[in-house]
Amino acid sequence: MPSRKKTNNRDCGIAVLDGFLQHKNVHRSAMQIKKEDIEQQIAQEAKRIFLKKGFAQTSMREIAEKSGVGVSNIYNYYGGKDDLFCSIVAPVVNEFKEMIDSYHNPQNVDVTQQWMPGMAEKTAAEYSSIMHRYRDLLTLLLFKSAGSSLAHFKEEFTDEATEMVLKYMDAMKQKYPALKWDFSPFFIHINAVQLFTLLEEIIMHKISAKEAERIFAEYVNYHNNGWKQLIYNNLQ
């Protein structure tokens, strides 16, 4: 009789363990996907309701009902209504913070770069991109955030931007003392507010994406040329 091949218990055990782990990883991956789907479903419905009613008039119960996810289960994904609102608008909030840092951090950009060929077009394109990608989120942030922790985002951000621009000007003053850097903090503040006013007006008047591109280009040219005239005034 042919001899039976002896089974190696160790190899068999490893094979079974490998199979178990593969099944567990697939199961875990499926559960992760499902969790992400539920989280996205909650956020999508919440965004729709926030846009319609605003933060203050929206309840977690309504979000639960429209999303098909129980109120208690929503708290497994978000700490509360404010956490949910903030997570929805986080992409545009982060975009603003990155933008101010990229334009007014002396380590990132020198003032002479502001008027390099193509810089105005680049800036206008960035503004247009933010409006195109985040119009709904901007609407939430600027018009529907009353009652949330972001209700005063515009004021807080413009104050932060004003301080950053003043520090930027101090750094440039050390580097280019012949140029004019003596501007009142409130004048800087007004300039920071202007961008939000522009964004709000585009949203309120339902300006198309194509028309918004033109408006941003005109705004940036007006803004940059005005600053250039003021800063280089001493050299004329």
DSSP one-letter string for 74-114: HTTT-SSHHHHHHHHHHHHHHHHHHHHHHHH-TTT--GGGG
Give 39's pLDDT tier (boundaries 50, 70, 90): very high
The predicted pLDDT at position 99 comes to: 87
Give 30's pLDDT tier (boundaries 50, 70, 90): very low
Give 200's pLDDT tier (boundaries 50, 70, 90): very high
The overall longest dimension of the chain from CA atoms, in Å, is 109
Domain residue limits, the chain: 9-74, 89-235
Give 143's pLDDT tier (boundaries 50, 70, 90): very high
Distance CA 165, CA 180 (A): 14
At 19, give phi and psi (nearest 5°): -60, -40
Give CA torsion, residues 93, 104, 156, 145, to 10 deg. -20
9-74 placed in CATH 3.10.20:
no
At 205, give phi and psi (nearest 5°): -90, 5
Distance CA 47, CA 84 (A): 9
How far from 170 is each of 1, 84, 103, CA to CA, in Å? 95, 39, 15
Distance CA 185, CA 189 (A): 6
The predicted pLDDT at position 115 comes to: 77
DSSP class of residue 235?
Answer: G
pLDDT of residue 48 exceeding 60, the answer is yes
H-assigned helices in the chain:
9-53, 60-67, 71-74, 81-104, 119-143, 153-175, 185-204, 209-231
**Residue pLDDT, tens place only, 145-163:** 999 999 999 999 999 999 9
Please say whether the dihedral angle defined by the alpha carbons of residues 201, 207, 210 and 211, taken in this order, is positive or negative: negative
The predicted pLDDT at position 234 comes to: 57
User: 184 and 165 in contact (C-beta within 8 Å)?
Assistant: no
Give the residue-averaged pLDDT of 88-95: 96
The predicted pLDDT at position 233 comes to: 74
pLDDT of residue 112 exceeding 50, the answer is yes
The predicted pLDDT at position 26 comes to: 42
**Residue pLDDT, tens place only, 207-234:** 999 999 999 999 999 998 999 888 887 5
Can you tell me which residue has the tokens 């009353």? 146
The predicted pLDDT at position 68 comes to: 93
pLDDT of residue 23 exceeding 50, the answer is no
